[in-house]
Amino acid sequence: MDPRSALRQRPSIEQITAHYEQMQKRLLELLDRLVGPLEWAVSAPASRASCAEFTDSDAESRVLESWRAAEPVADVDWPSAVSIVRSITAEYGFVEPEIIINRTGDHEITGNDSYGAVYTFGTSRSTILTLTTGCHLPGAAKG
């Protein structure tokens, strides 16, 4: 299948962004309620990037708003936090998270989906949640 056809079969960048934003919202709320309190705030605005693997297309990738809570997740609560993230992200098509760091007071996991999206969830002195989409066409370019 040629790359343009593959892109046309994916949701538009607008659709997938809304999908992932819904996932982020659910994660933030559940993490606050079940392993918090965590007072989440936007730590970086959303941004866009072109897609190197689809150079001859209008495809783009987006970095969604990055979130940060000043409070860390306690070591004793980290397994519960990972369980929450694993469960919710699986509902949105993400695979089993990969453990990047797992030591006392410092934890990080990452996960991806079949479209190339990647999230990072971690805690140390603070707690972070970031998400970058894979490459998708704008809705207007899918036709």
Contact 127, 51 (CB under 8 A): no
Cα 2 to the chain's mean position, in Å?
27
* pLDDT per residue as tens digits for the range 68-103: 999 999 999 999 999 999 999 999 999 999 999 999
Domains in the chain: how many in total? 1
Please tell me the distance from the alpha carbon of residue 12 to that of residue 45, in angstroms, as a whole number: 21
Please tell me the distance from the alpha carbon of residue 8 to that of residue 84, in angstroms, as a whole number: 32
Specify if 143 maps to a domain: no
Contact 32, 40 (CB under 8 A): yes
Residue-number span of the structural domain to which 60 is assigned: 3-138
Specify if 53 maps to a domain: yes
Residue 143 is predicted with a pLDDT of 64
What pTM was estimated for this model as a whole? 0.94
> The CATH number of the domain where 97 resides is what?
3.30.2030.20
**Listed residue (143, 115, 140, 118) closest to 130, CA to CA:** 118
Contact 60, 13 (CB under 8 A): yes
* pLDDT per residue as tens digits for the range 3-58: 778 888 999 999 999 999 999 999 999 999 999 999 999 999 999 988 888 877 88
